[in-house]
Every structure is written in C-alpha cells, then in structure tokens.
Amino acid sequence: MSALLVKLWQALVSGLSIGSIYALIAQGYYVTYVTTGALNFGQGEFLMVGALFGFTCYLTLGLPYAVALVAVVLLVGAMGIGLERVAIRPVMRHALSLSWVLSTVAVSIILKNAAVQIWGPEQIKFPSPFGEAVMMIGSAGIFPQELFIIVAALGTVFAMQIFLRRALLGKALIAVAFNRNAAAVMGINVTRMVVLAFVLSSALAGLGGILIAPITFAWAYMGTMPGIKAFAAAIFGGLENPIGILIGGLVIGLLEQLFGIVNSNFKEGVTFLFILIVLAISPTGLMGRREISKV
C-alpha cells in the first residue's frame, strides 16, 4: 500500500509541474477570448519562440536568466501586437467570422518554419539555471527547475488576476470583456484593450516557453502538444473563468501522470476521455457559466 502512495505522491509532484505550464498558457486563451471572442491557436508556437529566443539570450548571448526571461516576455509580448494586427483585426470585421481560426494557425505554421530556419530542426539542450541535481519532497524527486515552474507559473497567474481586478488598465480590459459597447461609451479605447489582451496572452506563452525549455529541450516543434493541452485545460476549466482554467490545467497535468501509473498505453487517451465525460455533464466546463435558457 505504501508503495502505491509513493507512486501517487511522485505523480502528484510531476503532474503539478507540467500542469502549471498548461494553466499558464491557458490563461492566454482566456484573456483574448473574453475580450474578442477569438483565441490564438498559435499559443504553442509563441511558447516555442519564447524557449528558443530565451536560449539565444541566455546561452548564446550569455545574459543572466532573469534578463533573458524579461527579454522573452517583452519580445513575445510584442509579437502579440503583430498577431492582432495581421491575424485578428483584418478578419474580425464580421461578428460571426471564424477566419481567425485559420489566420492564427497560419501564423503558427509560419513561426514554426521560421524557427527551423533560424535554430534548426533538432532539440537543443537548455541547461537549468538552478542546476540539475534532484531535490526530494518527501519520497518524490523533483528538479529545481520544475519547482521554479510551479512557483513562477502560479505566481504569474495570480499576479495577472490582481492586475485585471485592481489596476486601472486591467479593469478597462475587463470592462471591454463585459460589454464592449458600454466600455466604448465610457471612453475606453476598445482597440487598444484588444491589443493589450493579445500582448498579455502572447507574453504568457513566451514565459511558459522559457520556463519549460530546461525540462523539455528547446526546439521548433516543441509547442504543438502544450498548445493543445492548454487549450483542453481552458475548455475543461471553463473558458470564461480564470480560476476554473487554473484548476483545469493542473488537473490535466495530474491526470496524465496518474493514468500513467495504471497503464502508460492509455495515459493520454484516458485523460481526454475523462475530459469528454466532464464536458458531457457540464458543457461549459468545470467552472464555466451555466447557460440558462428560458422556455
């Protein structure tokens, strides 16, 4: 019995680390969805750029990790401005347009191709600034970088919540999300808020990239799976509820590890089956707003 507990504890620790990355990226889906109704399906590739640009800053240029981290957040955040300009604004003229699905996927493919040209197609080792020695939390082993991921990712998620609820700019963003026309009447520059939403979303993905690179390697094709899993976390948690999304990300990370203990052949399949069941019971996700229709 205790052997099982040891395994469960290890799965919990491992799952929390990867799950907090999903949660971080998924917050990016939330912030653009509530302001524009659109998502960046290239979040995974923005994460990839964050990892590889971080590699260039930290290892090629030899900047301190903290500086590289800020540089990544600024660069990938700035890419959000470009994304909004070329892939969102031109195609969002009609309220029901779904062209943003294709245009954001197009940007992600372009980014992937460009990354192969710049950094090559192979995995690159990204040494952790915190060393490679295993730490023990009880019976479970964890790398210092994984611990840092949990702290940094969850810290960022909470910091963003405080920003959105307390800061003037954040409140303006939420106002646009709540009612775009009313916000405009109140003198809020809606276009600027939409750009801000994409900047935030992209910056979160970039941060996720430089955080996770020491665990997964940095390479051009690294973003696809985290992008999809984070999307699953966002839908699973409830696309309009940041706390739900946070829980969704952590749960998906945990479930993969837990099902892995039972049978590694089905670990991803069973995780997504579980998501399907939850969505069948609660279509707007774990903590999404219930759709109420009067008959």
Partner 1 sequence: MSIKVPTLRLSLGAIGVGLSLAAAGVGGAAAADLKLGFDLSLTGGTDDYGKGARMGAELALAEYNEKGGYKGQKVEAVIYDDETKPAKGVENVTRLITRDRVFAIVGPVNSGVALAIIDIAQKNQIPLMDTIATAEQIIARYQSAPKNFIFRVSLNDGIQTSFMIDYIKAQKYQRIGLMHDSTGWGQSGRDTALRLLKEANLNLVAGPEVFDQNDSDMTAQLTKMQDAKVDFIIAYTLAPAAVQIAKSMQKIALKVPWTGTWGLIAPNFLKLGGKELTEGVMAVTSYTPDHSANARALHEKVDRIFKDQGGDFHPVATAQTYDGVRLVLRALDIAGLDPQKVRDALEQVDDFTEAVTKMKPHPFSPQNHESLGADTGFLAVWHDGKILHAE
Tally Cβ neighbours within 10 Å of residue 156: 20
Site membership for partner 1, residue 260 (CB under 8 A): yes
Nearest to 29 by CA among 224, 183, 240: 240
Tally Cβ neighbours within 10 Å of residue 200: 23
In terms of CB distance, is 7 or 180 closer to partner 1?
A: 7
Among 27, 103, 104, 257, interactor with partner 1 by CB under 8 A = 257
x/- site string to partner 1, residues 64 to 93, per CB under 8 A? ------------------------------
Stretch of 29-37, 40-48, 78-86, 257-265 contacting partner 1, by CB under 8 A: 257-265
Q: What share of the chain is helix, strand, coil (3-state, %, to 5)?
A: 75, 5, 20
Site membership for partner 1, residue 134 (CB under 8 A): yes
Among 1, 2, 3, 290, interactor with partner 1 by CB under 8 A = 3
**Which residues lie below 8 Å from residue 114, measured CB to CB, with a gap of 6+?**
none
Site membership for partner 1, residue 12 (CB under 8 A): no
Site membership for partner 1, residue 7 (CB under 8 A): yes
Cα–Cα distance, 31 to 110 (Å, whole number): 23
32 and 38 Cβ atoms separated by less than 8 Å: yes
Q: Residue numbers of the site for partner 1 (CB under 8 A)?
A: 3, 6-7, 10-11, 14, 17-18, 121-123, 125, 132, 134, 140-143, 212, 215-217, 221-222, 225, 257, 260-261, 264-265, 267-268
